[in-house]
């Protein structure tokens, strides 16, 4: 089915963020062609006029010029918090490219999240930003599982793009998200990516909204042996699996000579140092805590 595409005028594309990892969020599109079955950003549909299913439409934002880009000097802008800024439509519309060109020289600190290797097109431009960081979502090394869960490029293409950026001196992140209990092999992914990234970020699979029954149905049909585990986590709200995984990964990282920390990716280390592994399980609670401290 063809994606429904509309160009939508907007007043601004940069918005103040409540996320604990950035000052501003930037999303050049609403919706995403990757149609990830676990997409947490489906809540964004209520801010559109679309009746179609999430994943079947993309609104292309037209913001004209960024007003006073210099005001973002020293501020961290997270590009792609609820959309992939390098989804296939970017090749045609170039909104992310335009965004980067308008911000160039502003002194803004960029953090970009993607599942694509189209970002290689903008490598030379991204390199001009101070302390830029690019992350690729990789929650499996199994291409068949990847193909069931999203329409983005292959895992190997993502890893190759990560290596190209890291080799070019740009800080990179391997974003192991979402971790599917009993399916995602975090250790194998860390071993595969540790020599081409500066940070490994771990995030649990959080089932909510319309995609919860979709994922649980998939588990029941394709991984029936995992049904008791998923029932325990997502119907009885047990944290036992995540607590055990936390301890297991802490021990694994110690064996691998990697630093393992909780809920904080702000540490700066020499570029050539081994990556830090950050457990960001239950990041929504971290977000609420950070917001509460701000209010206090």
Number of structural domains, the chain? 1
151 belongs to a structural domain: no
| Assigned domain for 7 exists | yes
Q: How far apart are CA 121 and CA 110, in angstroms?
A: 16
| Segment-wise mean pLDDT, segments of 10 residues, the chain, 296 residues | 89 86 91 89 68 81 94 95 95 98 97 98 97 97 97 98 98 97 98 97 90 95 98 96 96 97 76 94 53 37
pLDDT at 41: 63
Is residue 233, in this structure, part of any structural domain at all? no
Phi and psi angles of residue 62, each rounded to the nearest 5 degrees, phi first: -120, 105
Is the preceding peptide bond at 235 cis, omega within 30 degrees of 0?
no
pLDDT reported for residue 284: 54
Model pLDDT, residue 183: 98
- Quick check: is 218 in a domain? no
CA distance 85 to 79: 7
Using an 8 Å Cβ cutoff, are 47 and 82 in contact? no
- pLDDT given for residue 285 in this prediction: 52
- Residue 53 DSSP one-character state: P
Contact predicate 117/159, CB 8 Å: no
Residue 122 belongs to some domain of the structure: yes
Helix (H) or strand (E) holding 93: helix 90-93
Domain that holds residue 69: 1-131
For 228-288, the DSSP string reads HHHHHHHTS---HHHHHHHHHHHHHHHHHT--EEES-------TTSPPEEEE-TTHHHHHH
* Residues 56-94 as b or e (16 or more Cβ within 10 Å = b): ebbbbbebeebeebeebeeebbbbbbbbbbbbbbbeebb
**pLDDT, position 292:** 39
User: Which residues fall within 8 angstroms of residue 67, CB to CB, at 6 or more apart?
Assistant: 12
- Other CB atoms within 10 Å distance of the CB of residue 240: 11
The confidence score (pLDDT) of residue 8 equals 94
Q: What pLDDT, on the 0 to 100 scale, is given for residue 288?
A: 44
In a domain, 108, yes or no: yes
Angle at 271 between CA 201 and CA 120, to 5 degrees: 70
Confidence at residue 286, expressed as pLDDT on a 0 to 100 scale: 41
Q: Is residue 209 part of a domain?
A: no
Indicate whether 12 belongs to any domain: yes
Please name the residues in contact with 111: beta carbons below 8 A apart, sequence gap of 6 or more: 21, 22, 76, 77, 78, 79, 132, 133, 134, 135
């Amino acid at each position: 089915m063809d994606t429904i595409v509309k160009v939508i005028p907007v007043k601004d594309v940069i918005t103040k963020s409540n996320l604990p990892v950035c000052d501003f969020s930037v999303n050049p599109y609403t919706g995403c062609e990757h149609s990830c079955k676990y997409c947490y950003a489906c809540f964004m549909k209520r801010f559109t006029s679309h009746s179609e299913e999430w994943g079947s439409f993309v609104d292309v934002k037209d913001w004209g010029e960024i007003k006073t880009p210099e005001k973002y000097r020293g501020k961290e802008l997270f590009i792609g918090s609820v959309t992939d800024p390098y989804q296939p439509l970017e090749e045609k519309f170039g909104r992310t490219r335009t965004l980067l060109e308008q911000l160039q020289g502003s002194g803004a600190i960029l953090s970009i999240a993607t599942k694509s290797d189209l970002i290689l097109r903008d490598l030379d431009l991204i390199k001009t930003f101070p302390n830029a960081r690019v992350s690729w979502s990789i929650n499996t090394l199994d291409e068949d599982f990847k193909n069931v869960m999203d329409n983005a490029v292959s895992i190997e293409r993502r890893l190759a793009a990560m290596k190209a950026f890291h080799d070019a001196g740009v800080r990179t992140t391997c974003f192991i998200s979402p971790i599917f209990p009993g399916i995602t092999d975090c250790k194998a992914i860390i071993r595969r990516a540790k020599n081409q990234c500066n940070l490994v970020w771990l995030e649990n699979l959080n089932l909510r909204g319309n995609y919860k029954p979709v994922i649980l149905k998939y588990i029941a049909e394709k991984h029936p042996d995992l049904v008791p585990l998923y029932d325990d986590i997502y119907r009885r709200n047990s944290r036992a699996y995540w607590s055990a995984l936390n301890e297991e990964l802490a021990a694994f990282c110690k064996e691998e000579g990697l630093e393992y920390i909780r809920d904080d990716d702000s540490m700066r280390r020499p570029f050539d140092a081994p990556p830090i592994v950050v457990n960001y399980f239950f990041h929504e609670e971290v977000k609420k805590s950070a917001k509460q401290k701000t209010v206090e």
